[in-house]
Amino acid sequence: MQFIGAVWRIGLPLVVVASSALVLVLAVRARGELPPLSRSFGWVVPLVWLTLVGDAVLGDQRPVFERQWKGTAALLVGLGGAVYLWKRHRQRRGTRQNLH
């Protein structure tokens, strides 16, 4: 049981933070035309992000380590989303200017 508890306490944060870092890397390295987001993805990601931010900022009863890794994951996902939206905005603006 102790092994499973250690994996849960250490492995889960590592997977979540690594996945969040991957989101940022993929958003930064995206080239060409960006695909539109599906509706379900467009709803789920902001809700997960808000949950992470809420736990990191308002989680008074949570351990410091948990608040830190959730804050780091929220920051990385937020930056990845901002980069994607910025690139998507530039792409759409460029398409509109080419039409006129």
**pLDDT, tens only, 56-89:** 999 888 899 999 999 999 999 999 999 998 998 8
Contacts of residue 69, Cβ cutoff 8 Å, sequence gap at least 6: 13, 16, 17
Alpha-carbon distance 43 to 32, whole Å?
Answer: 24
**pLDDT, tens only, 4-28:** 888 888 899 999 999 999 999 999 9
Where residue 62 falls (left for φ over 0; alpha for ψ -120 to 50; beta otherwise) is beta
